[in-house]
Structure 1
Amino acid sequence: MSSTKKIIVITNSFLLAAGVESLALEIRGLLVDEVFSGSEKKLCEKVLLKKPDLIIIDPVSLGEHLIPTLRTLREEPETLIAGLVSESMKENVKSKFSHQLVKDAPKYQLIEELQSIIGKYIPEENSKTLSKREVEILKNVVLGLSNKDVADKLFLSVHTVMTHRKKIARKLGIKTVSGLTVYALMNKIVDMREVERRT
């Protein structure tokens, strides 16, 4: 398996494209392979020919063509799709994307979101080991915090927290909070006094 993950960006904005390329450079093994404008002829065909691991779409650049474009791109199940969204964007547009990068978020948060989407936190050969961020999230979940509370505390989006929780469950083979609590106690991530104080 190739160690480099390829990203395709679809946007009419030079600044947005440059911003995504800058973020990708911060993460080892990520490469922005090409940038397409939303008005590109045969856009979906050209994008899928590149066989990207992740397609990042600026919905504003596609306008009324967003939904048919997404429908076509999703025919390739192995390719992840993320939306470049903003707080002011309509919810019915944002909801079209299961993965989101918030345009006006701070740099460190965008990097974490991108890492989370592409799955670059843990190398494949060490997939059973939790990252520092996953340990942090596990501890807070075990102590009774909701996804939103964890997101607020760690300055992440709720979606990123949920993605990490899925990875934790997959790595450990544990899906229940009670099971995660036992794991956290056995591995000294929390102690019994902390668990007893949880709300």
Structure 2
Amino acid sequence: MTLHREGKATIAISTVLFLIISFVGCYFLCPAYPVLFWILEIALLIVFGLIISFFRIPGRNYTMDDTAVIAPCDGKVVVIEEVDADEYFNDRRIQVSIFMSPLNVHVNRNPVNGTIVYNQYHKGKYLVAWHPKSSTENERHSNVYRHSSGKEVLTKQIAGALAKRIVNYNQVGNQVKQNDEMGFIKFGSRVDLLLPLDAKINVKIGDVAVGGVTVVARW
């Protein structure tokens, strides 16, 4: 397991704060209230461990399949439905949404091989990520991948109530590879996929997707 580069500043700041609070607690609290001091230390260690865990990149055997759309992130499948596309496309699409809790790995990966033909950041709200309107009203970053077959898939990195920063590494014109990093979202969020209607969905609501591994659909 390695740590993602997006976590460097957060981990550094957390480390400094942890050391300062521990030192102050040891000096002022420990002599008079040792039990309270150790409760505080344990709580700090748990929080620090969660922060480290949030930026982890676990070792995995990624699924490489040019006929498949691979899960762009870890999380639970919360939406599978036919929708009127509200961005880039002018037709109906199948939307598959994956919700990421703060405990999930938060690296986002390219679901297919292809060319980036659309890359757009949208300012917005911070509704809870499972809210039905979060897909269209929350802060989000959208990419459209054009596969060599000519088919296209749109991804939306969507901020949630806790997510305050979306990072996206793609640019229009980039030739990207399946499962390479698309970006990162900090602290709880979701990713939507908008797929062609003839895509064969390979997951169901409630399934736990593994980013870079789970086959969401085939085309």
Q: Give the TM-score normalised by the residue count of structure 2.
A: 0.23
Higher helix share: 1
Task: Point out which structure has higher relative CO (alpha carbons under 8 A, 6+ apart).
Answer: 2
Task: Answer with 1 or 2: which has the greater Rg.
Answer: 2
Q: Give the TM-score normalised by the residue count of structure 1.
A: 0.25
